[in-house]
């Protein structure tokens, strides 16, 4: 358990990508951050931006990450959107945190969606 009370699972798929044990379609990398295409894209452009550090979720990252790690991740989101050519028409970035948001991979990640009309914000099931 880390200082924020989160248990990081080193066998999660993004940990394995960061360690180079699994391949990814990389679009950006610097000292702190990696970005690659989602394996099951939900929009024409669907990129995942992740810290290289061992952070479970937004709660963990926002409470424990260093300033340079946070700056790198935020700048990377903007950079991958620019590089993917989706800045002018617009894009959406979001992060699923925990059970209510259906977070599947327990390594903090930000989705970047674009390349088409995205519609309005997602409605919860049944509403």
Residues marked active site are found at: 109
Q: Do residues 44 and 117 lie in contact, with contact meaning Cβ atoms separated by under 8 Å?
A: no
One residue of 15, 18, 24, 65 binding ligand DGP per CB under 6 A: 24
Residue 105 engages ligand DGP in binding (rule: CB under 6 A): yes
User: Is residue 12 at the binding interface for ligand DGP, with CB under 6 A as the rule?
Assistant: no
Cβ atoms of 112 and 94 within 8 Å: the answer is no
Provide, rounded to whole angstroms, the least separation between the CB of residue 81 and ligand DGP.
17
How would DSSP label each residue in the chain?
--TTS----TTSHHHHHHTTSS---EEEE-SSEEEEE-SS-SSSEEEEEEESS---SHHHHHHH--HHHHHHHHHHHHHHHHHHT-TTT-EEEE---TGGGT--SSS--EEEEESS---SSPPPTT-
**Residue from the set 3, 31, 40, 67 that interacts with ligand DGP by CB under 6 A:** 40
Nearer to ligand DGP, 36 or 55 (CB): 36
- Does 118 help bind ligand DGP (rule: CB under 6 A)? no
- CA-to-CA distance for 14 and 124, rounded, in angstroms? 26
Q: Which is nearer to ligand DGP, 37 or 75 (CB)?
A: 37
Position 113 contacts ligand DGP (CB under 6 A): no
Least Cβ distance, residue 36 to ligand DGP (angstroms) = 5
- Binding residues vs ligand DGP (CB under 6 A): 13, 22, 24, 36, 38-40, 96, 102-105
């Amino acid at each position: 358990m880390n200082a924020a009370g989160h248990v990081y699972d080193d066998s999660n798929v993004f940990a394995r990508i960061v360690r180079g044990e699994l391949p990814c379609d990389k679009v950006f990398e610097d000292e702190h951050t990696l970005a690659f295409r989602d394996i099951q894209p939900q929009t024409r452009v669907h990129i995942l931006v992740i810290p290289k550090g061992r952070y479970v979720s937004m709660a963990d990252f926002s409470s424990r990450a260093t300033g340079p790690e946070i700056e790198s991740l935020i700048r990377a989101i903007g950079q991958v959107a620019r590089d993917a050519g989706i800045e002018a028409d617009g894009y959406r970035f979001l992060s699923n945190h925990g059970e209510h948001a259906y977070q599947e991979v327990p390594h903090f990640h930000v989705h970047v969606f674009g390349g088409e009309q995205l519609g309005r914000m997602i409605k919860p099931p049944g509403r």
